[in-house]
Structure 1
Amino acid sequence: MMAKIITFVLIFIALAASHLLIDEKGYVLISFNQTTIEGSIVSFTILLLLAITALVLLVKIVRWSWRHLINTKGHFSRKRKLKAQQAWDESLWLFINGEVEQAATLLAKTPQPDERQDYVRAIAAKAALKQGDIVKANTELEAISDDNQGQLATLWLEANNSEQALALLDDKMSAAKPTAAVLSGYIAACVEAQQSEQATTQIAKWHKKLNWSDAQWQTLFERMFTATPEQADTLFNMLPKAVKAHAVPALTKVKLQQGRIAEVTGDLKKLLKQGQYHQLAEYLQYNTQANAELKLALQQQLKKHPDDKELLFALACLCNAEADYELAAKIFDSLSAHPWEARWSKQAQLAYEKIHTYEKAYLIAKS
């Protein structure tokens, strides 16, 4: 505004004083080629001032226009950032609530800043794994930057790439005190890669840092002993005393599968005596060897509890193991009075097939 007032004043002065310049003595004549410019020192001075003022005004106009343009771009930039943040927040809640595919889809539709791209790819990999698309999951994991690869051991395991998971965790395991998360991932990777001895060594060394539940321990040992049953006893003996109790169920199942029921008969009879019929039946469904002593104890207990489905199932499993399929089939006929349980099907199907009752075996297989 001030610049406009100054310009107006200068123009007014120039016009008001123009008649005084007619006979101005400071006459100046500039001639070059066919062009001639006539004037006075005063008039040229006024024109110079006007030119400077115009230039200043032009600069101000340009600067104002530029600021306006930048603000407009900033407006759209802020709008994009806000939209990206809203999508990011919503996708995190979807992920937390287990809706991984929806989270991945939302992030794919809304571009995220560069610093979030690794997280976006990790979520996309998780979604691909949930859908069973291993190829896409590996592609997404490979695209994640090297700086964050060390956080992906579990995802690499889920993508059936235990070697990559172990490679990522090796450096972290060499630290003086690896974290519980690193230890868990490394042990799981060793089991997946069937490096059971290495897994057992790490358990023996760091078991106090692994705050796992009994269910987590049992799941690990079942996977470990099932993958290498011939090493089950050796691995069990390598475990510290505090951990062995968690490994007993998995070792018992392996022994029963190997026909070594005589080694665990005492423990099984103890379960029977304590009334832990469900656990006893869970074990005996893996049994492959007859045991008259345990069968007699079961029959005596059934006299007290003739309708107990766990005792009946346990006895049927023992009958199958000693090839008494007729008795096993009769037991499963009586069990049909109870709501049928999926864990009975394998043993029932075996008994019916062996006595050539194929119709019942077919119905069980179909159910």
Structure 2
Amino acid sequence: MSRRLVAHLDMDAFYASVELLHRPFLRGLPVVVGGRRRQPLEADPEDLSTWPRLRDYVGRGVATTASYEARALGVHSAMGLMKAAALAPDAILLPADFEEYRRMSHRFKEAVAEIAPVIEDRGIDEIYIDLTDVPGAFDATPDDRLAGARALGQRLQQAVRNATGLSCSLGVTPNKLLSKLCSDLDKPGGVTVLDMDDIAARIWPLPPGRINGIGPKAREKLEQAGIRSIGELAAVEPAWLIAKFGKSTGAWMHEAAHGRDERPVVTHRDPKSVSRETTFERDLHARLDRDTLGGIFTGLCEKVAADLARHGLVGRTIGLKLRFDDFRTVTRDHSLDAYTADAGTIRWAAGQCLKRIELTRRIRLLGVRVGTLAANDAIPAEPRPARGRGSPESLPLFEDLD
């Protein structure tokens, strides 16, 4: 077996599973998580008819996730809830509780770290784990050359279940690319282990789109060329791929099809920016909904400031993002003379960005971003920009519209 062992751990239908953990009486039913938790659910656990159904939803929200029963009906994450309602009208609709999801995410990662501390965090519900130096990883038996890797994967899976009560799936292979692919092969609750010798049998029959990084456009091009499996992709001359997809992408596709990936497990990654954004339930008018927009805008700036403080960061480039009712997206940046993590300064600078956008259409999405980041303790003390002083609430929004 390769002397490198990497696991990709992916929680099974994470948000839905957390909700079902607290509501076991909904297990076995199609459940969709989407929208926001504005007030406690007032539903009777003994009377399922009192629970909100997808058919009654009206709005533009999207599904955050769905239980496997709902997925069997065609519902998937990022699908519009109105479209999901047409596919699964009787599905239970639960609002998302991100605070609880973050708490459970922290818990499962802590459980994994007690066994294998070299972890690359890839989001709230997935991680890469370097198992190379974990004792027993390369143990083998006469009947199973991958026995140690398999046992270690099952041990990690059980640790997650003991800590959270939740199920996860793992791919355990010599590299990140294969492990990411394999963690999805035996969901839910699977542990898929393979070595480079297994690629032809387990990986090559799969469609190229199963490789993380081969998107819809690339899949279409490959389909048009008659390439319908990873094995067929592996058989293509690298020169053809380079001519078709460019030097970098073509060469990468050739390596990926053969299961080759030398990327390390990265335990720390410096963020390039910190941002918050929200999509409104209805399109908002810059003048008629000025107070509503102002409150949302202030909240976004305060959340970004809190995120910066939590990570010990400051930034100098403040960005604003607007998406209009025709789905056109506009972004603007404003550079400050000094680093900041102050909500009032962020809001003032984002307001300067706003002045450079023509607000003739209703607004669908609003976002605030802080970039050009640095560690707070690495920046010498500098005076805050004078025009950024004041509480966020005291700073006007859309002030030039009256």
Q: Does the TM-score normalized on the shorter chain lie above 0.5?
A: no
Higher relative contact order (CA 8 A, sep 6+): 2
TM-score band w.r.t. shorter chain? under 0.3
Structure with the higher fraction of residues in helix conformation: 1
Q: Tell me the TM-score normalised to structure 1 length.
A: 0.21
Q: Tell me the TM-score normalised to structure 2 length.
A: 0.20
Larger radius of gyration between Structure 1 and Structure 2: 1
